[in-house]
């Protein structure tokens, strides 16, 4: 199954990510985001990070989860290579998300090819059909 697809967007970056479950689609969205900045497929599981975020709804949860990938990159030099054990749980009226991220720490050997600065709600879509599709526009 195709993990994600980047789409043309005049000012910034746009992608759709797919999954049999919402969890899988969220995980693939994180890889789609990573693909705008580095080659995640080339990375091994040298560093592990656990991410926990809460959102009032699925959209906010997705924005916050993806923002964590940017935050970990900018402040810890963490380059995401794989998402493991991503779990969503309803809580109150919203959701909790927990995921284990694997990847490497930025070093001279890694090449960066883009800079995602923020995750937006613009054109953000979470759709369920034959599996799940999430669509995200990011500020570059």
User: Which residues in this chain contact another protein in the complex, by CB under 8 A?
Assistant: 6-13, 37, 56-57, 59-60, 63-64, 67, 70-71, 73-75, 77, 106, 112-115, 117-122, 124, 137, 139-140
Given the complex with another protein, which of 20 and 41 has the nearer CB atom? 41
Minimal distance, residue 69 CB to another protein, in Å: 12
Q: Read off the tokens for 104.
A: 């490497």
| Residue 87 C-beta: closest distance to another protein, Å | 21
Q: Which is nearer to another protein, 59 or 96 (CB)?
A: 59
Nearest Cα residue to 40 out of 66, 67, 75, 79: 79
Cα-atom radius of gyration of the chain, to the nearest Å? 14
Q: Residue 32, Cα to own-chain centre: how many angstroms? A: 6
Our CB check for another protein shows the closer of 24 and 70 to be 70
Two tokens, residue 105: 């720490």
Among 30, 18, 21, 19, residue whose Cα is nearest residue 119:
30
Min separation Cβ 93 and another protein, Å: 10
């Amino acid at each position: 199954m195709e993990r994600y697809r980047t789409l043309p967007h005049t000012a910034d970056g746009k992608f759709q990510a797919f999954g049999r479950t919402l969890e899988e689609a969220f995980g693939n969205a994180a890889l789609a985001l990573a693909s705008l900045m580095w080659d995640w497929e080339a990375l091994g599981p040298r560093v592990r990070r656990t991410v926990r975020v809460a959102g009032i709804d699925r959209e906010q949860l997705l924005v916050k989860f993806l923002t964590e990938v940017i935050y970990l990159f900018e402040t810890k030099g963490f380059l995401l290579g794989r998402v493991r054990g991503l779990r969503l749980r309803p809580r109150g009226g919203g959701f909790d998300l927990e995921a284990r991220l694997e990847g490497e720490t930025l070093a001279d050997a890694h090449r960066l090819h883009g800079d995602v600065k923020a995750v937006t709600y613009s054109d953000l879509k979470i759709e369920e059909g034959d599996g799940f599709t999430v669509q995200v526009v990011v500020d570059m």
